[in-house]
Structure 1
Amino acid sequence: MNNTVEKTDWNFDLEKIHKANLEILKAIRDICEKHNISYLIDSGTLLGAVRHKGFIPWDDDVDLCFRREEFEKFKAIANLELPKGMELVLPYEYRNGESFYDFVPRVVYLNSRRHSENDEDMEFYEGKLNHLWVDLFIIDRLPSDETEAKLMKLKQQIYFGLGMAHRRKLDWSKYKGLQKLEVMVLVGVGKLISLKTIFKWQDKSARKYTDLYSEQKSGTNGKSFFSNYQPDFQYCTVEDAWEEPIQFEFEGEKFTGPKEWDKVLKMLYGDYMKLPPVEKRQPSHSGRELEILEEAD
Protein backbone atom coordinates (compact mmCIF):
# COMPACT_ATOMS: atom_id res chain seq x y z
CA MET A 1 0.00 0.00 0.00
CA ASN A 2 1.41 3.35 -1.07
CA ASN A 3 1.28 5.74 1.90
CA THR A 4 3.11 8.61 0.21
CA VAL A 5 2.35 12.03 1.69
CA GLU A 6 2.33 15.02 -0.65
CA LYS A 7 3.73 17.97 1.34
CA THR A 8 2.68 21.35 -0.02
CA ASP A 9 2.22 24.54 2.03
CA TRP A 10 2.12 23.11 5.55
CA ASN A 11 5.07 23.53 7.84
CA PHE A 12 5.08 21.21 10.85
CA ASP A 13 6.45 17.87 12.01
CA LEU A 14 3.69 15.32 11.47
CA GLU A 15 5.64 12.69 13.42
CA LYS A 16 5.60 14.94 16.52
CA ILE A 17 1.89 15.58 16.04
CA HIS A 18 1.21 11.84 15.88
CA LYS A 19 3.25 11.34 19.04
CA ALA A 20 1.29 14.05 20.88
CA ASN A 21 -2.04 12.72 19.61
CA LEU A 22 -1.14 9.25 20.82
CA GLU A 23 -0.26 10.71 24.22
CA ILE A 24 -3.74 12.29 24.49
CA LEU A 25 -5.42 9.14 23.25
CA LYS A 26 -3.64 7.00 25.83
CA ALA A 27 -4.50 9.45 28.62
CA ILE A 28 -8.20 9.34 27.73
CA ARG A 29 -8.13 5.55 27.45
CA ASP A 30 -6.47 5.19 30.84
CA ILE A 31 -9.05 7.45 32.50
CA CYS A 32 -11.89 5.53 30.89
CA GLU A 33 -10.49 2.17 31.95
CA LYS A 34 -9.90 3.42 35.50
CA HIS A 35 -13.49 4.65 35.84
CA ASN A 36 -15.23 1.98 33.74
CA ILE A 37 -16.26 4.45 31.03
CA SER A 38 -16.94 3.16 27.52
CA TYR A 39 -15.46 5.03 24.52
CA LEU A 40 -14.81 4.18 20.87
CA ILE A 41 -12.25 5.31 18.33
CA ASP A 42 -14.14 6.98 15.47
CA SER A 43 -13.87 8.42 11.95
CA GLY A 44 -10.28 8.79 10.69
CA THR A 45 -8.84 7.18 13.81
CA LEU A 46 -10.96 4.07 13.26
CA LEU A 47 -10.02 4.07 9.58
CA GLY A 48 -6.36 4.35 10.53
CA ALA A 49 -6.64 1.41 12.94
CA VAL A 50 -8.23 -0.78 10.26
CA ARG A 51 -6.20 0.29 7.24
CA HIS A 52 -2.82 1.24 8.78
CA LYS A 53 -2.81 -0.24 12.32
CA GLY A 54 -2.25 3.32 13.49
CA PHE A 55 -2.43 6.88 12.20
CA ILE A 56 -3.32 7.54 8.60
CA PRO A 57 0.16 8.77 7.52
CA TRP A 58 -1.13 12.21 6.46
CA ASP A 59 -3.80 12.61 9.17
CA ASP A 60 -3.24 15.09 11.98
CA ASP A 61 -6.05 14.51 14.47
CA VAL A 62 -7.79 11.92 16.63
CA ASP A 63 -11.54 11.27 16.85
CA LEU A 64 -13.35 9.49 19.68
CA CYS A 65 -17.01 8.95 20.44
CA PHE A 66 -19.00 8.31 23.60
CA ARG A 67 -22.59 7.40 24.21
CA ARG A 68 -24.23 10.31 25.99
CA GLU A 69 -24.31 8.60 29.39
CA GLU A 70 -20.63 7.63 29.10
CA PHE A 71 -19.58 11.13 28.07
CA GLU A 72 -21.35 12.61 31.09
CA LYS A 73 -19.24 10.37 33.32
CA PHE A 74 -16.07 11.34 31.50
CA LYS A 75 -16.90 15.06 31.63
CA ALA A 76 -17.37 14.91 35.38
CA ILE A 77 -13.84 13.69 36.10
CA ALA A 78 -11.75 14.59 33.02
CA ASN A 79 -10.05 17.75 34.26
CA LEU A 80 -9.35 16.10 37.60
CA GLU A 81 -7.71 13.11 35.94
CA LEU A 82 -6.08 14.41 32.76
CA PRO A 83 -2.30 14.80 33.09
CA LYS A 84 -0.62 18.19 33.16
CA GLY A 85 -0.66 19.80 29.73
CA MET A 86 -4.11 18.48 28.75
CA GLU A 87 -7.54 19.97 29.35
CA LEU A 88 -11.16 19.21 28.48
CA VAL A 89 -12.72 22.23 26.74
CA LEU A 90 -16.51 22.26 26.44
CA PRO A 91 -18.25 24.01 23.51
CA TYR A 92 -20.20 26.44 25.71
CA GLU A 93 -17.07 27.76 27.46
CA TYR A 94 -15.74 30.14 24.79
CA ARG A 95 -15.78 33.78 25.91
CA ASN A 96 -17.92 32.98 28.93
CA GLY A 97 -20.45 31.15 26.81
CA GLU A 98 -21.05 34.03 24.41
CA SER A 99 -19.18 32.74 21.35
CA PHE A 100 -19.85 29.70 19.18
CA TYR A 101 -17.39 27.42 17.39
CA ASP A 102 -19.36 24.16 17.23
CA PHE A 103 -20.98 21.59 19.54
CA VAL A 104 -17.89 19.40 19.98
CA PRO A 105 -16.07 18.93 23.32
CA ARG A 106 -12.31 18.59 22.94
CA VAL A 107 -9.31 17.47 24.91
CA VAL A 108 -6.65 20.03 24.02
CA TYR A 109 -2.90 19.53 24.20
CA LEU A 110 -1.60 22.69 25.86
CA ASN A 111 2.00 21.88 24.87
CA SER A 112 1.24 23.00 21.31
CA ARG A 113 0.53 26.13 19.30
CA ARG A 114 -1.35 26.57 16.04
CA HIS A 115 -0.24 29.28 13.64
CA SER A 116 -2.22 30.09 10.52
CA GLU A 117 -3.91 32.80 8.53
CA ASN A 118 -6.74 32.51 11.08
CA ASP A 119 -4.70 33.54 14.14
CA GLU A 120 -7.14 36.38 14.91
CA ASP A 121 -10.01 33.93 14.80
CA MET A 122 -8.20 31.56 17.15
CA GLU A 123 -7.42 34.37 19.59
CA PHE A 124 -11.09 35.34 19.55
CA TYR A 125 -11.74 32.00 21.24
CA GLU A 126 -9.36 32.97 24.06
CA GLY A 127 -6.58 30.74 22.79
CA LYS A 128 -8.56 27.61 23.71
CA LEU A 129 -8.37 26.43 20.10
CA ASN A 130 -4.76 27.42 19.45
CA HIS A 131 -3.72 23.86 20.23
CA LEU A 132 -3.69 20.33 18.98
CA TRP A 133 -6.89 18.61 20.11
CA VAL A 134 -8.89 15.38 20.13
CA ASP A 135 -12.57 15.64 19.14
CA LEU A 136 -15.13 13.91 21.36
CA PHE A 137 -18.34 13.04 19.51
CA ILE A 138 -21.54 12.14 21.34
CA ILE A 139 -23.89 9.33 20.35
CA ASP A 140 -27.59 9.81 21.14
CA ARG A 141 -30.51 7.50 20.41
CA LEU A 142 -33.10 8.14 17.72
CA PRO A 143 -36.89 7.75 18.02
CA SER A 144 -38.71 4.78 16.49
CA ASP A 145 -40.68 6.88 14.03
CA GLU A 146 -38.55 7.56 10.93
CA THR A 147 -40.13 10.92 10.22
CA GLU A 148 -39.50 12.05 13.79
CA ALA A 149 -35.92 10.77 13.55
CA LYS A 150 -35.37 12.88 10.41
CA LEU A 151 -36.89 15.88 12.16
CA MET A 152 -34.58 15.34 15.12
CA LYS A 153 -31.53 15.44 12.84
CA LEU A 154 -32.90 18.50 11.03
CA LYS A 155 -33.22 20.29 14.36
CA GLN A 156 -29.52 19.69 15.05
CA GLN A 157 -28.65 21.27 11.69
CA ILE A 158 -30.88 24.23 12.50
CA TYR A 159 -29.30 24.73 15.93
CA PHE A 160 -25.86 24.68 14.31
CA GLY A 161 -26.98 27.39 11.88
CA LEU A 162 -28.40 29.49 14.71
CA GLY A 163 -25.16 29.08 16.66
CA MET A 164 -23.12 30.33 13.71
CA ALA A 165 -24.60 33.77 14.34
CA HIS A 166 -22.35 33.90 17.40
CA ARG A 167 -19.08 33.22 15.58
CA ARG A 168 -16.49 35.96 15.11
CA LYS A 169 -17.09 35.93 11.37
CA LEU A 170 -18.36 33.66 8.63
CA ASP A 171 -16.73 32.65 5.37
CA TRP A 172 -19.62 33.13 2.98
CA SER A 173 -17.58 31.78 0.06
CA LYS A 174 -18.30 28.28 1.41
CA TYR A 175 -21.99 28.61 0.58
CA LYS A 176 -23.82 28.96 -2.71
CA GLY A 177 -27.38 29.21 -3.94
CA LEU A 178 -30.14 27.91 -1.72
CA GLN A 179 -27.71 26.72 0.94
CA LYS A 180 -26.31 30.24 1.29
CA LEU A 181 -29.83 31.62 1.66
CA GLU A 182 -30.66 29.02 4.33
CA VAL A 183 -27.52 29.91 6.30
CA MET A 184 -28.23 33.63 6.00
CA VAL A 185 -31.74 33.14 7.39
CA LEU A 186 -30.55 30.97 10.29
CA VAL A 187 -27.74 33.38 11.15
CA GLY A 188 -30.15 36.31 11.02
CA VAL A 189 -32.56 34.56 13.40
CA GLY A 190 -29.68 33.35 15.58
CA LYS A 191 -28.57 36.92 16.24
CA LEU A 192 -31.88 37.43 18.04
CA ILE A 193 -31.41 34.43 20.35
CA SER A 194 -28.89 34.10 23.15
CA LEU A 195 -26.24 31.45 22.63
CA LYS A 196 -27.08 30.01 26.05
CA THR A 197 -30.61 29.35 24.80
CA ILE A 198 -29.35 27.73 21.58
CA PHE A 199 -27.10 25.38 23.55
CA LYS A 200 -30.02 24.54 25.83
CA TRP A 201 -32.27 23.71 22.86
CA GLN A 202 -29.57 21.63 21.17
CA ASP A 203 -28.81 19.61 24.29
CA LYS A 204 -32.46 18.99 25.17
CA SER A 205 -33.32 17.87 21.64
CA ALA A 206 -30.21 15.73 21.14
CA ARG A 207 -30.63 13.73 24.33
CA LYS A 208 -34.44 13.41 24.36
CA TYR A 209 -34.60 9.73 23.39
CA THR A 210 -31.39 8.84 25.15
CA ASP A 211 -33.02 10.05 28.37
CA LEU A 212 -36.29 8.27 27.54
CA TYR A 213 -34.42 5.03 26.89
CA SER A 214 -32.62 5.38 30.19
CA GLU A 215 -35.85 5.99 32.08
CA GLN A 216 -38.25 3.64 30.27
CA LYS A 217 -36.17 1.31 28.08
CA SER A 218 -38.59 2.17 25.28
CA GLY A 219 -39.30 4.72 22.59
CA THR A 220 -36.22 4.06 20.43
CA ASN A 221 -35.68 1.87 17.40
CA GLY A 222 -32.22 0.55 18.20
CA LYS A 223 -30.59 3.30 16.12
CA SER A 224 -28.46 6.25 17.15
CA PHE A 225 -26.78 9.28 15.62
CA PHE A 226 -23.81 11.52 16.35
CA SER A 227 -25.72 14.48 17.70
CA ASN A 228 -22.83 16.96 17.78
CA TYR A 229 -21.44 16.18 14.33
CA GLN A 230 -21.34 19.08 11.88
CA PRO A 231 -24.45 19.45 9.67
CA ASP A 232 -22.88 17.74 6.65
CA PHE A 233 -22.39 14.55 8.71
CA GLN A 234 -25.89 14.44 10.18
CA TYR A 235 -26.79 11.73 7.66
CA CYS A 236 -24.81 9.27 9.79
CA THR A 237 -26.96 6.71 11.59
CA VAL A 238 -25.67 3.64 13.41
CA GLU A 239 -27.39 0.52 14.67
CA ASP A 240 -26.89 0.29 18.41
CA ALA A 241 -25.49 -3.22 17.93
CA TRP A 242 -22.71 -1.83 15.70
CA GLU A 243 -21.21 0.01 18.64
CA GLU A 244 -20.43 -3.03 20.80
CA PRO A 245 -16.77 -2.45 21.78
CA ILE A 246 -13.88 -4.62 20.65
CA GLN A 247 -10.12 -4.12 20.80
CA PHE A 248 -8.09 -2.56 17.97
CA GLU A 249 -4.34 -2.30 17.56
CA PHE A 250 -3.26 1.30 17.03
CA GLU A 251 0.40 2.35 17.01
CA GLY A 252 1.31 -0.68 19.11
CA GLU A 253 -1.35 0.10 21.73
CA LYS A 254 -4.85 -1.29 22.32
CA PHE A 255 -7.96 0.88 22.08
CA THR A 256 -11.65 0.09 21.84
CA GLY A 257 -13.67 0.57 18.68
CA PRO A 258 -16.99 -0.60 17.23
CA LYS A 259 -17.53 -4.30 16.55
CA GLU A 260 -19.20 -3.57 13.21
CA TRP A 261 -16.38 -1.32 12.06
CA ASP A 262 -16.87 -2.28 8.42
CA LYS A 263 -20.43 -0.93 8.43
CA VAL A 264 -19.37 2.25 10.21
CA LEU A 265 -16.52 2.94 7.79
CA LYS A 266 -18.65 2.23 4.70
CA MET A 267 -21.24 4.67 6.03
CA LEU A 268 -18.58 7.36 6.51
CA TYR A 269 -16.24 6.79 3.57
CA GLY A 270 -17.70 4.30 1.10
CA ASP A 271 -14.78 2.29 -0.33
CA TYR A 272 -12.57 3.07 2.65
CA MET A 273 -9.67 0.80 1.65
CA LYS A 274 -9.07 2.86 -1.48
CA LEU A 275 -6.45 5.53 -0.82
CA PRO A 276 -7.09 9.09 -2.00
CA PRO A 277 -4.92 10.53 -4.80
CA VAL A 278 -1.45 11.52 -3.60
CA GLU A 279 -2.18 15.23 -4.01
CA LYS A 280 -5.12 14.94 -1.57
CA ARG A 281 -3.12 13.26 1.19
CA GLN A 282 -2.93 16.39 3.27
CA PRO A 283 -3.35 17.22 6.98
CA SER A 284 -6.69 18.99 7.33
CA HIS A 285 -6.85 20.28 10.90
CA SER A 286 -3.52 21.89 11.82
CA GLY A 287 -3.52 25.08 9.77
CA ARG A 288 -0.31 26.01 8.00
CA GLU A 289 1.84 25.45 11.07
CA LEU A 290 1.48 23.55 14.32
CA GLU A 291 4.28 23.63 16.85
CA ILE A 292 4.70 21.00 19.58
CA LEU A 293 6.30 22.68 22.59
CA GLU A 294 8.62 21.22 25.17
CA GLU A 295 6.55 22.27 28.18
CA ALA A 296 2.97 23.33 28.86
CA ASP A 297 2.32 26.93 29.80
Structure 2
Amino acid sequence: MDRKRTEMSDIQSEGLKVLIEFDRICRKNNIKYSLSDGTLLGAVRHDGFIPWDDDIDVSMTRESFNVFESVIADELSDEFFYQTNETDPDYYAPHPKIRSNNAYLKEKCNQNINIHEGVWIDIFVFDRIPTNLEEADAIQNEISNLSKKIVRMVNIYPDGIGSKLNQFVKSVLFYFNKIFYKINPLPKKYFKQREALILKNKDIEEFDSYALLAYNSSFDEYRRLIRAKDSFENTIEHSFEGYDFLISEKYDDILTNEYGDYMTLPKEEDRVSNHQVVSFTKE
Protein backbone atom coordinates (compact mmCIF):
# COMPACT_ATOMS: atom_id res chain seq x y z
CA MET A 1 0.00 0.00 0.00
CA ASP A 2 1.37 3.42 -1.02
CA ARG A 3 1.50 5.54 2.13
CA LYS A 4 2.68 8.72 0.44
CA ARG A 5 0.59 11.52 1.92
CA THR A 6 -1.12 14.32 0.09
CA GLU A 7 -1.83 17.67 1.71
CA MET A 8 -4.71 17.66 4.14
CA SER A 9 -7.83 19.66 3.39
CA ASP A 10 -8.71 22.60 5.65
CA ILE A 11 -11.42 20.46 7.26
CA GLN A 12 -8.99 17.61 7.94
CA SER A 13 -6.35 19.98 9.34
CA GLU A 14 -8.84 21.49 11.76
CA GLY A 15 -10.13 18.07 12.79
CA LEU A 16 -6.57 16.99 13.55
CA LYS A 17 -6.21 19.93 15.94
CA VAL A 18 -9.31 18.73 17.80
CA LEU A 19 -7.92 15.20 17.98
CA ILE A 20 -4.61 16.46 19.37
CA GLU A 21 -6.49 18.25 22.16
CA PHE A 22 -8.57 15.15 22.91
CA ASP A 23 -5.44 13.01 23.05
CA ARG A 24 -3.73 15.51 25.38
CA ILE A 25 -6.61 15.37 27.84
CA CYS A 26 -6.81 11.57 27.77
CA ARG A 27 -3.07 11.05 28.27
CA LYS A 28 -2.91 13.59 31.09
CA ASN A 29 -5.72 11.79 32.94
CA ASN A 30 -4.74 8.20 32.05
CA ILE A 31 -7.93 7.63 30.05
CA LYS A 32 -7.90 4.77 27.57
CA TYR A 33 -9.22 5.40 24.09
CA SER A 34 -8.66 4.22 20.54
CA LEU A 35 -8.94 5.75 17.12
CA SER A 36 -12.06 4.17 15.65
CA ASP A 37 -13.95 3.35 12.47
CA GLY A 38 -12.69 5.28 9.43
CA THR A 39 -10.02 7.02 11.48
CA LEU A 40 -8.61 3.71 12.70
CA LEU A 41 -8.74 2.41 9.14
CA GLY A 42 -6.99 5.55 7.92
CA ALA A 43 -4.25 5.18 10.52
CA VAL A 44 -3.54 1.55 9.64
CA ARG A 45 -3.96 1.80 5.86
CA HIS A 46 -2.77 5.37 5.17
CA ASP A 47 -0.92 6.54 8.32
CA GLY A 48 -3.47 9.35 8.38
CA PHE A 49 -6.81 10.37 6.98
CA ILE A 50 -8.50 8.27 4.37
CA PRO A 51 -8.05 10.87 1.60
CA TRP A 52 -11.80 11.29 1.00
CA ASP A 53 -12.78 11.24 4.69
CA ASP A 54 -13.51 14.48 6.53
CA ASP A 55 -14.20 13.61 10.15
CA ILE A 56 -12.49 11.83 13.03
CA ASP A 57 -13.81 9.01 15.21
CA VAL A 58 -12.53 7.83 18.58
CA SER A 59 -13.95 5.23 20.94
CA MET A 60 -13.77 4.32 24.61
CA THR A 61 -15.68 2.26 27.14
CA ARG A 62 -18.38 3.74 29.35
CA GLU A 63 -15.99 3.40 32.30
CA SER A 64 -13.32 5.48 30.58
CA PHE A 65 -15.91 7.94 29.34
CA ASN A 66 -17.16 8.57 32.86
CA VAL A 67 -13.65 9.67 33.83
CA PHE A 68 -13.39 11.76 30.67
CA GLU A 69 -16.66 13.55 31.44
CA SER A 70 -15.48 14.30 34.97
CA VAL A 71 -12.47 16.27 33.72
CA ILE A 72 -13.49 17.71 30.35
CA ALA A 73 -14.98 20.96 31.68
CA ASP A 74 -11.75 21.85 33.48
CA GLU A 75 -9.34 20.50 30.88
CA LEU A 76 -10.72 21.60 27.52
CA SER A 77 -9.06 24.63 25.92
CA ASP A 78 -11.22 27.64 25.02
CA GLU A 79 -10.43 26.90 21.37
CA PHE A 80 -12.85 23.98 21.55
CA PHE A 81 -16.43 23.17 22.57
CA TYR A 82 -17.65 19.96 24.21
CA GLN A 83 -21.03 19.17 22.68
CA THR A 84 -23.76 17.11 24.35
CA ASN A 85 -27.49 17.61 24.78
CA GLU A 86 -26.69 19.33 28.09
CA THR A 87 -24.19 21.83 26.69
CA ASP A 88 -26.11 22.34 23.43
CA PRO A 89 -29.84 21.62 23.99
CA ASP A 90 -30.77 21.24 20.30
CA TYR A 91 -28.07 18.60 19.79
CA TYR A 92 -29.76 15.19 19.78
CA ALA A 93 -27.06 12.91 18.41
CA PRO A 94 -26.50 9.90 20.70
CA HIS A 95 -22.77 10.53 21.16
CA PRO A 96 -20.77 13.60 22.26
CA LYS A 97 -18.44 15.60 20.06
CA ILE A 98 -15.58 18.00 20.60
CA ARG A 99 -15.81 20.87 18.13
CA SER A 100 -13.50 23.61 16.98
CA ASN A 101 -14.34 27.21 17.83
CA ASN A 102 -12.28 28.38 14.86
CA ALA A 103 -13.67 26.52 11.84
CA TYR A 104 -17.29 25.73 11.03
CA LEU A 105 -18.84 23.06 8.85
CA LYS A 106 -22.53 23.44 7.98
CA GLU A 107 -24.27 20.14 7.19
CA LYS A 108 -27.60 19.72 5.42
CA CYS A 109 -28.89 17.47 8.21
CA ASN A 110 -28.63 20.34 10.71
CA GLN A 111 -30.37 23.03 8.68
CA ASN A 112 -33.44 23.21 10.93
CA ILE A 113 -31.67 23.32 14.27
CA ASN A 114 -29.47 25.81 16.04
CA ILE A 115 -26.36 23.98 17.25
CA HIS A 116 -22.63 24.60 17.41
CA GLU A 117 -21.23 23.41 14.06
CA GLY A 118 -17.50 23.62 14.50
CA VAL A 119 -15.36 20.96 12.82
CA TRP A 120 -15.54 17.97 15.13
CA ILE A 121 -14.42 14.61 16.38
CA ASP A 122 -17.02 11.98 17.31
CA ILE A 123 -16.60 10.23 20.66
CA PHE A 124 -18.23 6.82 20.48
CA VAL A 125 -18.94 5.25 23.87
CA PHE A 126 -19.13 1.46 24.06
CA ASP A 127 -21.35 -0.15 26.69
CA ARG A 128 -21.39 -3.54 28.32
CA ILE A 129 -23.93 -5.94 26.86
CA PRO A 130 -25.36 -9.18 28.27
CA THR A 131 -23.61 -12.41 27.32
CA ASN A 132 -26.97 -13.53 25.94
CA LEU A 133 -26.98 -11.65 22.63
CA GLU A 134 -30.75 -11.94 22.27
CA GLU A 135 -31.13 -9.71 25.34
CA ALA A 136 -28.64 -7.22 23.93
CA ASP A 137 -30.33 -7.27 20.52
CA ALA A 138 -33.71 -6.48 22.06
CA ILE A 139 -32.32 -3.40 23.80
CA GLN A 140 -30.53 -2.27 20.66
CA ASN A 141 -33.76 -2.62 18.66
CA GLU A 142 -35.56 -0.26 21.07
CA ILE A 143 -32.67 2.20 20.95
CA SER A 144 -32.56 2.13 17.16
CA ASN A 145 -36.30 2.80 16.91
CA LEU A 146 -35.98 5.82 19.18
CA SER A 147 -33.00 7.10 17.17
CA LYS A 148 -34.99 6.85 13.94
CA LYS A 149 -37.84 8.84 15.48
CA ILE A 150 -35.43 11.55 16.61
CA VAL A 151 -33.80 11.76 13.19
CA ARG A 152 -37.19 12.19 11.51
CA MET A 153 -37.94 15.18 13.73
CA VAL A 154 -34.48 16.74 13.90
CA ASN A 155 -32.13 15.79 11.06
CA ILE A 156 -34.27 14.68 8.11
CA TYR A 157 -33.82 16.43 4.78
CA PRO A 158 -34.44 15.60 1.09
CA ASP A 159 -31.10 14.02 0.17
CA GLY A 160 -31.83 12.72 -3.32
CA ILE A 161 -31.55 9.12 -2.15
CA GLY A 162 -34.42 6.68 -2.69
CA SER A 163 -37.67 6.75 -4.60
CA LYS A 164 -39.70 9.83 -5.52
CA LEU A 165 -42.17 8.93 -2.78
CA ASN A 166 -39.32 8.66 -0.28
CA GLN A 167 -38.04 12.10 -1.29
CA PHE A 168 -41.54 13.57 -1.05
CA VAL A 169 -41.96 12.24 2.50
CA LYS A 170 -38.55 13.61 3.50
CA SER A 171 -39.44 17.01 2.02
CA VAL A 172 -42.74 17.15 3.91
CA LEU A 173 -41.05 16.19 7.19
CA PHE A 174 -38.25 18.70 6.58
CA TYR A 175 -40.60 21.65 6.12
CA PHE A 176 -42.94 20.51 8.91
CA ASN A 177 -39.99 20.35 11.31
CA LYS A 178 -38.77 23.75 10.15
CA ILE A 179 -42.05 25.26 11.34
CA PHE A 180 -42.81 23.20 14.43
CA TYR A 181 -39.42 21.96 15.66
CA LYS A 182 -39.07 24.46 18.50
CA ILE A 183 -42.41 23.55 20.08
CA ASN A 184 -42.16 19.80 19.55
CA PRO A 185 -41.60 18.08 22.93
CA LEU A 186 -40.97 14.63 21.47
CA PRO A 187 -37.23 14.84 20.63
CA LYS A 188 -36.37 15.57 24.25
CA LYS A 189 -38.69 12.79 25.45
CA TYR A 190 -37.23 10.22 23.07
CA PHE A 191 -33.68 11.34 23.86
CA LYS A 192 -34.21 10.67 27.59
CA GLN A 193 -35.80 7.29 26.88
CA ARG A 194 -32.87 6.33 24.68
CA GLU A 195 -30.33 7.39 27.31
CA ALA A 196 -32.06 5.22 29.92
CA LEU A 197 -31.92 2.19 27.62
CA ILE A 198 -28.26 2.77 26.75
CA LEU A 199 -27.34 2.79 30.44
CA LYS A 200 -29.58 -0.13 31.36
CA ASN A 201 -26.72 -2.64 31.67
CA LYS A 202 -23.88 -0.32 32.66
CA ASP A 203 -23.28 -2.15 35.94
CA ILE A 204 -23.53 -5.78 34.85
CA GLU A 205 -20.54 -7.74 36.11
CA GLU A 206 -20.64 -10.81 33.87
CA PHE A 207 -20.17 -9.82 30.25
CA ASP A 208 -17.95 -10.74 27.32
CA SER A 209 -18.42 -7.81 24.97
CA TYR A 210 -19.08 -4.14 24.48
CA ALA A 211 -21.38 -2.66 21.86
CA LEU A 212 -21.97 0.76 20.39
CA LEU A 213 -25.57 1.15 21.48
CA ALA A 214 -25.77 4.92 21.13
CA TYR A 215 -25.81 4.93 17.37
CA ASN A 216 -28.36 5.16 14.58
CA SER A 217 -27.23 2.03 12.78
CA SER A 218 -28.73 -0.96 11.06
CA PHE A 219 -28.79 -4.26 12.90
CA ASP A 220 -25.92 -5.60 10.76
CA GLU A 221 -23.80 -2.53 11.53
CA TYR A 222 -24.51 -2.85 15.24
CA ARG A 223 -23.46 -6.50 15.19
CA ARG A 224 -20.25 -5.75 13.24
CA LEU A 225 -19.31 -3.17 15.85
CA ILE A 226 -19.60 -5.51 18.84
CA ARG A 227 -16.15 -5.77 20.37
CA ALA A 228 -14.65 -8.33 22.72
CA LYS A 229 -13.94 -7.04 26.22
CA ASP A 230 -10.20 -7.47 25.80
CA SER A 231 -10.16 -5.21 22.72
CA PHE A 232 -10.28 -2.23 25.10
CA GLU A 233 -7.70 -3.48 27.57
CA ASN A 234 -4.46 -2.72 25.73
CA THR A 235 -3.55 0.07 23.34
CA ILE A 236 -0.51 0.79 21.21
CA GLU A 237 0.68 3.97 19.54
CA HIS A 238 0.22 4.43 15.81
CA SER A 239 1.13 7.28 13.48
CA PHE A 240 -1.67 9.45 12.13
CA GLU A 241 -0.69 12.48 10.04
CA GLY A 242 2.72 12.62 11.73
CA TYR A 243 1.42 12.35 15.31
CA ASP A 244 1.23 9.30 17.56
CA PHE A 245 -2.23 8.40 18.81
CA LEU A 246 -3.62 5.35 20.58
CA ILE A 247 -5.26 2.41 18.84
CA SER A 248 -6.50 -0.89 20.18
CA GLU A 249 -3.94 -3.69 20.19
CA LYS A 250 -6.72 -5.77 18.58
CA TYR A 251 -7.05 -3.36 15.64
CA ASP A 252 -6.86 -6.16 13.06
CA ASP A 253 -9.85 -7.99 14.60
CA ILE A 254 -11.81 -4.74 14.84
CA LEU A 255 -11.15 -3.65 11.27
CA THR A 256 -11.76 -7.11 9.85
CA ASN A 257 -15.14 -7.33 11.60
CA GLU A 258 -16.11 -3.86 10.41
CA TYR A 259 -14.71 -3.76 6.87
CA GLY A 260 -13.61 -7.26 5.87
CA ASP A 261 -10.53 -7.00 3.61
CA TYR A 262 -9.77 -3.53 4.96
CA MET A 263 -6.40 -3.04 3.23
CA THR A 264 -8.02 -3.14 -0.22
CA LEU A 265 -9.20 0.27 -1.44
CA PRO A 266 -12.90 0.64 -2.36
CA LYS A 267 -14.02 1.29 -5.91
CA GLU A 268 -13.31 4.78 -7.22
CA GLU A 269 -16.99 5.75 -7.19
CA ASP A 270 -17.27 4.80 -3.50
CA ARG A 271 -14.44 7.08 -2.39
CA VAL A 272 -16.67 9.89 -1.14
CA SER A 273 -17.44 11.61 2.15
CA ASN A 274 -20.58 10.52 3.96
CA HIS A 275 -21.41 14.12 4.96
CA GLN A 276 -23.37 16.55 2.79
CA VAL A 277 -21.70 19.89 3.44
CA VAL A 278 -23.45 23.21 2.84
CA SER A 279 -20.53 25.48 3.72
CA PHE A 280 -17.15 25.68 5.45
CA THR A 281 -15.77 28.81 7.11
CA LYS A 282 -12.69 29.66 9.16
CA GLU A 283 -12.25 32.51 11.62
**Same fold, TM-score > 0.5, yes or no:** yes
Aligned position for 2:143: 156
Aligned length: 264
Residue 225 of structure 1 pairs with residue 211 of structure 2: yes
Per-residue CA deviations over 1:102-153 (Å, capped at 9, x if unaligned) read: 212110112112256x3xx645432412x21100101001112221111121
Match runs of 1:46-195 below 5 Å: 46-91=40-85, 93-94=87-88, 97=89, 99=90, 101-115=92-106, 118=108, 122=110, 124-129=112-117, 131-167=118-154, 169-171=156-158, 174=161, 194-195=186-187
TM-score, length of structure 2 as denominator length: 0.81
Q: Would you say the 8 A contact 1:242–1:260 is kept in 2?
A: yes
Query: Structure 2: which amino acid aligns with 1:271?
Result: D
Residue 271 of structure 1 pairs with residue 261 of structure 2: yes
For structure 2, which runs of at least 5 residues remain unmatched after alignment?
171-182
Cα 1:173–1:291 change in 2 (3 A) is closer
Aligned position for 1:211: 203
TM-score, length of structure 1 as denominator length: 0.77
Query: Structure 2: which amino acid aligns with 1:261?
Result: Y
For structure 1, which runs of at least 5 residues remain unmatched after alignment?
6-12, 184-190
SS in 2 for 1:49: helix
> How far is the alpha carbon of 1:240 from its aligned partner?
0.9
Work out which of the residue numbers 191, 194, 201 in structure 1 matches 2:193: 201
Tell which has more relative contact order, 1 or 2 (C-alpha 8 A, sep 6+).
1
Cα 1:199–1:115 change in 2 (3 A) is closer
> How far is the alpha carbon of 1:40 from its aligned partner?
1.1
SS in 1 for 2:280: strand
**How far apart, in 2, do the equivalents of 1:259 and 1:105 lie?**
24
RMSD of aligned Cα (Å) = 3.1
Query: Structure 1: which amino acid aligns with 2:252?
Result: D
**How far apart, in 2, do the equivalents of 1:155 and 1:14 lie?**
39
**How far apart, in 2, do the equivalents of 1:65 and 1:263 lie?**
15
